[in-house]
Structures are given as structure tokens and as C-alpha cells.
């Protein structure tokens, strides 16, 4: 994956944009405490309450009551969500659980400068005389993640952080294949596969527009699909 980029504020979210899933790690800070504690979302009644599993730390547990306000933060798909709520009830046994009010307003901050979408686009990466066919796994105007399985004789070639490569790819919706330059920012090797996190360099106008159009279209479709299943 391409490393996280500078944060940007993208405003507030509605109840439909909660972006929270079962088992998601939460950071919970209680009113009157400076430290945040790790919790887990274990359930909710949309629009009414959330159920969190929280650590049974005595210094907190003896002070938590219905008068407490809570700040909850969590990370989902490159966006930090945060909201204030109030404690409805706490349960000590058999596991420590806390019911909190469903947020009326959610603050969101994106950790990436550009929208990124998950995809599977065939592409070929080349550096010097080495080339490998594979696929783009995620894409944004800033860069992409590419995976391939090199041949045994080429596995020892230097493909590492700081190396520049070129990629041949036809962005869906684009009339022809394009050659784009990439700067490698990280490399992960496992089971003979190489996953390359990269940033685009010197994108020309046509390539920029093709990527922007595809990412915006897929992001919009993803949003529609997510809303339809809620």
C-alpha cells in the first residue's frame, strides 16, 4: 500500500456515513481522563446506541456512570472518524461492556490527499530490462499498489524503495494503453509475490484525467452500493 499522506478535514458525516464495522478497534476517552483506552465495537442499534467492549481498568470502571461523556475515535478506509456521546449503561459481568448513545454528528478527517479505490486492473511494470505482468490493487491520483509474481530468474533483481519504474496500463474507460512513471515507496515480498507501493511521477494531462475519472466513478459507485445494503 502507498503510505498515508497528509491529513485533510472532510467535514461531518451523517448517520449513514458512520463507517463502522463489527469488531472494529476503537479509541475511547472518558470525560475527566486525559488518556484514551482501546475498545472494540461489538454491536449497535442504528440510530439508538452502540455497544463497546472496554478494558476493565479499575480506575476507570469505578467512575463510569450515566453522567459521563465519551469521545470515540476510529480509523476506517483511510478516514479518521470521531464523535462525542454519553454513557447509557455499563455491564461488568461476564465481560465489561458499555452502551453509549448513537452519535448525532460525526467528524471525519481523511489521512490521504486523494481518494483511493480498490480495483483489479491488469498492468505491466518494467525497470531496466526486467518486466513483470501483474495487477493494480488500489489506485488514486497520488499512486497505486501493484502486485506481480516474477519469474524465478528475475526474483533477485533490485526492486526496492527509491527505484523508479515505468508501468504500462489501460485504465478502464480509457481508449488506449498508457505508460506512466512510478517511484517505489515500499516493497513487500511473500510467497514469491512482490507488492509494490508507488507514487506517480510526472503524470501527463491525459493520464491524470483518465485516472481521476475512473477513481471518481468507482468511488461514487462504491458509495451507492454501501448505502444500498445498509
In whole angstroms, give the CA distance from residue 70 to residue 159.
Answer: 47
Kind and range of the H or E element at 13?
Answer: strand 8-13
**Has this prediction a pTM greater than 0.85?**
no
Asked whether 78 and 4 are in contact (CB, 8 A), the reply is yes
Residues in the chain with pLDDT < 70?
Answer: 1-19, 56-67, 77-78, 109-114, 153-158, 222-230
Domains along the chain? Answer: 8-110 (2.30.110.10), 117-225 (2.40.10.220)
Q: How far apart are CA 60 and CA 13, in angstroms?
A: 29
**What pLDDT is recorded for position 16?**
46
**Residue 220 half-sphere exposure toward CB, CA atoms < 13 A:** 6
Q: What is the pLDDT of residue 24?
A: 82
pLDDT for the residue 42: 92
Neighbours of 39 (CB within 10 A): 22
Q: How far apart are CA 105 and CA 84, in angstroms?
A: 8
Supply the pLDDT for residue 169. Answer: 95
Predicted pLDDT at 144:
94
Amino acid at each position: 500500500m502507498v503510505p498515508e499522506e497528509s491529513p485533510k478535514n472532510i467535514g461531518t458525516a451523517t448517520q449513514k456515513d458512520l463507517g463502522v464495522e463489527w469488531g472494529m478497534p476503537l479509541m475511547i476517552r472518558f470525560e475527566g481522563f486525559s488518556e484514551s483506552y482501546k475498545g472494540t465495537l461489538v454491536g449497535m442499534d442504528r440510530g439508538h446506541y452502540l455497544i463497546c467492549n472496554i478494558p476493565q481498568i479499575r480506575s476507570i470502571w469505578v467512575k463510569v456512570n450515566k453522567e459521563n461523556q465519551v469521545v470515540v475515535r476510529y480509523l476506517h478506509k483511510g478516514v479518521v472518524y470521531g464523535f462525542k456521546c454519553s454513557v447509557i449503561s455499563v455491564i461488568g459481568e461476564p465481560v465489561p461492556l458499555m452502551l453509549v448513545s448513537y452519535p448525532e454528528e460525526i467528524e471525519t478527517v481523511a489521512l490521504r490527499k486523494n481518494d483511493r479505490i480498490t480495483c483489479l486492473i491488469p498492468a505491466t511494470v518494467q525497470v531496466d530490462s526486467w518486466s513483470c505482468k501483474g495487477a493494480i490493487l488500489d489506485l488514486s491520483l497520488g499512486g497505486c499498489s501493484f502486485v506481480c509474481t516474477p519469474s524465478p530468474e528475475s526474483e533477485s533483481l533490485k526492486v526496492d524503495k527509491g527505484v523508479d519504474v515505468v508501468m504500462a496500463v489501460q485504465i478502464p474507460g480509457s481508449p488506449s494503453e498508457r505508460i506512466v512513471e512510478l517511484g517505489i515507496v515500499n516493497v513487500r515480498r511473500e510467497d514469491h509475490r512482490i507488492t509494490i507501493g508507488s507514487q506517480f511521477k510526472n503524470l501527463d494531462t491525459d493520464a491524470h484525467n483518465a485516472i481521476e475519472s475512473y477513481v471518481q466513478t468507482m468511488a461514487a459507485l462504491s458509495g451507492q452500493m454501501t448505502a444500498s445494503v445498509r
